Each structure stands twice: as C-alpha cells, then as structure tokens.
Structure 1
Amino acid sequence: MALHFLEFDYSEDNEGTCTWDALASATAERLPELLREITTLLAWACAEFGEQRGSLDDGGLWDYDLQCERGDHALQPLAYDPGAHLLRAPPSVQAGERVTLSLSISGTPAFAAPFAERFGLPSP
C-alpha cells in the first residue's frame, strides 16, 4: 500500500525496539483521506497482532500513540477501535482549518518486519 500523507522516520533502540514516527497535516477537506490512511495501518496491526498490543516494557509486541493538534485547541489523543474499524474521537474541524496528526508505532522485531514489509517502510 502506498502512503500518501504519512512519511515515517524510523529508529531502533539498544533493546531492538523499532519505532516509526510520522507527522501529517491536512485541511478539513483532506482530513478524511489522512484518517483512512492511519486507520488502514492500525487495522492491519490489530488484525495481525491485535491481542499482542500493549506496552513493550510489559511484554507487548507492539503499541501506538496517536495525537491530534488543531489551532489553539489542546493536544487530543485519538484511539483506534478495532471492532468498529474506525478512529474514536476524530477531530471536528471547520472548512479550511488545518489539522496535524502525529502517529508513533513501536514494536519488537517480530512485529516490525511484517509491518514494514506490508507498508513498504524501513525495517530492521
């Protein structure tokens, strides 16, 4: 799958944790496309490794952090609902308003290799 909005920076730590970080900004008119792209990534991760999601420090295989920033509003966390296949609490924006989303996905090598291969991302 080609990503159109998300351009990830990749890093690894000394314990082998792989992390992809992306910032994407869109106007209200393009926001649904950006949200679909994020939903696609998280839907795949949940379908393939859903029960293994959790803090890597506590034995999880993968985890994510998704935040929304718009105008003068406080930073707002967003969550993916795997049962409904959608993001909960997507931002409400006015026409022409710009929204910035930050997405961080981390995982062990067992998660990282198939995730990177599926989406054409850098990998360990």
Structure 2
Amino acid sequence: MRLDYLLFDSSDEDSGHCSFDALASVLPERLPALVAEVEAVLRWAHRAFGLPDADGGEWDYALQLTGADGEPLVIAYDAALGGVRLPGPVTARVALALTLGGSPAFASAFLDAFPDA
C-alpha cells in the first residue's frame, strides 16, 4: 500500500530491534485519509505478527493525537474491529504520531509491505 501521510523515520538499536516513527499534521477534511493509512499499517502488523507486546514480543506500537492547542486527544486502535476510534468530530488541525517498534523480522517485513514509507 502506498502511504501519502505517514512518512516514517527509522532507527536501529544495538539489540537488532528497530523503530519506525511517523508524524502527520492535517486539517479535519484530511483526517479520514490519514486514519485509513494508520488502520492499514496496524491491520497489517496484527495480521502478520499477532498482538503487540512491549515485553520482548515481535512488535509494539504507540498512537497519539494532539489538537491544534497542543492538548492530547483520545485515539485508540481497536484490533477486533480493525479500526481507529476518534474522540468525536474534529474541527481543527490535528497532529497524529505513530511509532512502531519490533524485531529484525518485523522491520524487514514492514519495509517489504510499505517500501515507500
């Protein structure tokens, strides 16, 4: 899948694990397209590597949403539904941050699945 909003920076740890960080800022009318990309990436990760596990698992993630005033907004990914839940109508610019971390196998598979990320 081509990603237009999520452009990831990557970093590697000495342990071989990696992280991919993306930050996107959009107006309300662009938020559905950005959320669709987040959902695609997280659905892929769940299908390919199972549930996220921060304690030595194959992968984990963090998802954050911030309003124009810098206030954190509630955002969550529901793995059972394969979708993102937002706090309600968004009427101003927001910034979304998505961080993925994982094993070398996760990193390789991520780069294969999203080569333009």
Normalising by structure 1, we get a TM-score of 0.86
CA RMSD in angstroms, aligned pairs only = 1.7
Distance 2:20 2:86 in 1: 23
SS of equivalent residue, structure 2 residue 71: coil
Q: CA deviation at 1:77?
A: 5.0
- Equivalent of residue 116 in structure 1, options 101, 107, 111: 111
TM-superposed deviation, 1:91: 5.4
Within a 5 Å distance, the mapping from 1:7-86 to structure 2 comes to 7-51=7-51, 53-55=52-54, 58-72=55-69, 74-76=71-73, 78-86=75-83
User: Structure 1: any 5+ residue segments left out of the alignment?
Assistant: none
Q: Distance in 2 between matches of 1:20 and 1:5?
A: 14
Q: CA deviation at 1:76?
A: 3.2
- Matches of 1:101 and 1:113, distance apart in 2: 24
Hey, what's the Cα distance between the residues in 2 that align with 1:90 and 1:44? Answer: 24
- Distance in 2 (CA, whole Å) between partners of 1:98 and 1:47 is 31
Q: Aligned partners of 1:16, 1:78: CA distance in 2, in Å?
A: 30
Unpaired runs of 5+ in structure 2?
Answer: none
- In 2, are the aligned partners of 1:6 and 1:24 still within 8 Å (CA)? yes
The percent of aligned pairs where both chains have the same amino acid is: 43
Name the aligned partner's letter for residue 38 of structure 1: V
